[in-house]
Every structure is written in C-alpha cells, then in structure tokens.
A = this chain, B = another copy of it.
Amino acid sequence: MQELVNRPSVCEQSREICPIKIVSKLISGKWKIPILWYLSQEKRRFSELQRLMPGASKGVLSKQLNELINDHLIEKIVYDQTPPKVEYSLSKTGESFTSVLDVLKDWGEEYIKEYQQIKP
C-alpha cells in the first residue's frame, strides 16, 4: 500500500462538492469518453463520429454531444449551407481533459496487456 499522506478524503461529507463525483458524472454515458477521445484528435463532423462509433445510434450520439456541450467540454460550429455541415471540437476545458484521456488510454493498454480481453 502506498503512502496515504497525500490522499485527502475529499468526499467524506456527501454534501460537499466532490471532484471525483463531478468527473464521474461528467463522463457517465456510454459514448462520452470515446467522443472526447475522437475529438481530441481533430474536429469531427457528425457523420464522422457516427462512422467512428457504429454502435451509437444517431439519437444517442446527438444526446450525448449536447450534454457534453452543456457541460462545456465540447463546442459545435454550424455552417449555414446546404447540405448542412456541422463540426464538433473540444472546448478550452475539453482540451484540458486530453491529458486525462491520455492517462486513461495508457492505463487501458496496460490493463489489456495483463488481462487479454476479447470483447471491445
């Protein structure tokens, strides 16, 4: 067990604002983390995201994108043209989340190495 000194128990009182729970809530949603991941690479159009995440239906994708916008993690640019063109990208806050995504990915890779999983 590692040192406990620098591991404050921030959530002891449930009424306090708890960073861990906040983050947990922000990224709760089947496609939120994948969406953020793909947007961390480059800005994407709606159809691109659909193509990248075939399991996500349009409705769900749209819903989670809107939630991420409301949470200030991503932004949306609508080009006024026909056919329509929309681009999603990370907001400034979302950009700061890429470091978290990198850590998650790295950890995930190690995890996979240890427990060879078949199911994605």
Taking the nearest CB of chain B, how far is it from the CB of A99, in angstroms? 7
How far in angstroms is the closest Cβ of chain B from A115?
6
Interface mask (A75-89 → B, CB under 8 Å = 1, otherwise 0): 000000000000001
* Chain A 52-84 interface residues, beta-carbon cutoff 8 Å to B: 52-55, 72
Q: How many subunits of this chain does the assembly comprise?
A: 2
What 3 pairs across the A-B complex have the smallest Cβ distances? A19-B108, A23-B108, A24-B33
| Residues of chain A at the chain B interface (Cβ within 8 Å) | 1-2, 4, 7, 9-12, 14-24, 26-28, 30, 32-34, 37-38, 40-43, 52-55, 72, 89, 93, 95-101, 103-112, 114-115, 117-118, 120
